[in-house]
Amino acid sequence: MLDFVSPEHHQPLTPAADGSALVGADGARYPIRDGIPDFVPASGSEEPPHGNQDFYRTRAHEYDLGNNVMFKMLLAEEEPVREDLAASLMLRPGARVLEIGCGTCRDTVHLLRRDATVYAGDLSYEMLAIGKQRLQDAGADFSRVRLFRGDAMRLPFPDGSFDAAFHFGGLNLFPDVAGALKEMARVVKAGGRVVAGDESVGPWLADTEFAKILKNSNPLFAHVAPLDRIPVNARDVSCRWVLNGSFYLISFEVGAGEPQLDLDVEFPGWRGGSHRTRYFGRLEGVSPQLRETIVSRAAAEGMSIVAWLEKTLRKATEAD
């Protein structure tokens, strides 16, 4: 199993002698409660958790009832939908998966069926306790699942620790959606997948009574799929809507940095040049080096760049 690291500095942690906590070299201490390590800063900390902790703590026992109602009202069968969500990760046998915002582990059960090792975390200990009982009732192999209490913005794992990361059903309430998706991508290895989704009626349904009824009962359905929050290192990005068009599901493969271009491919036609000369040169089709020469010569003659270019080009054309 993967060892946890400190969420602040990603440094190794060791178990305390009495097994009550994980301890960092800097003295940071992360308590373990009923086998679940807690990486959320204590109340009063200078760095509060990023999420609606009170909302889920006070509604933990109502959460499953709400899920049951949601599937019924959307005329959807829960098991096939959750199997479809798990399948979107395209997991290979033995894959290591991170689930953020696992709640009461309704999706965790389906991830474990795919012969994966799952690290399932949530901001609410109350949710995790219910989830742990659900996994026990389902006969889950606890050698392949680790529960932890953690903040989606401060994950206790090194870079590239997982083959995939998954979240469904809470992203709209994250105060920094872009940061959460970026952090999920950080802990997934290159070529791995990130899948995340939440309430949002599809845009083609925006003016329907279906949409108006859902938004009237739950304003979260008015959220827009956060395509502009996807990290720049995302590749093969897709967004589809599930549950009769009421939830978005964003999927992408993790790459490295921004997409790359061959900057030196020459364009055909009268304009010519390349991406390098057009963008970095900032002058029509000239190299960055020539641009610097022009800037220097114009300055030496006390002229603006435009004036120097007009004089030089006029002289050259008159000579022809």
What's the rounded Cα separation, in Å, for the pair 57 and 43?
A: 14
pLDDT of residue 44: 45
Task: Report mean pLDDT in 10-residue bins for the chain, 320 residues.
Answer: 91 94 93 96 54 57 84 95 97 96 96 96 95 95 96 96 97 96 98 98 97 97 97 98 97 96 84 76 73 85 76 78
Q: How far apart are CA 314 and CA 248, in angstroms?
A: 59
Q: Could you give the CA distance from residue 16 to residue 1 in angstroms, rounded to a whole number? A: 18
Is-contact 112 145, C-beta < 8 A?
Answer: yes
Q: Residue 168 corresponds to which tokens in the numbers above?
A: 């469904």
Give the whole-angstrom CA distance, residue 69 versus residue 2.
36
| Side-chain-facing half-sphere of 252: CA atoms under 13 Å | 21
Q: What is the pLDDT of residue 46?
A: 47
User: 259: closest CA among 288, 290, 236?
Assistant: 236
pLDDT for the residue 136: 96
Residue 270 pLDDT? 55
Could you tell me the end-to-end alpha-carbon distance of the chain, in angstroms, rounded to an integer? 76
Both structure tokens of 98: 């991170």
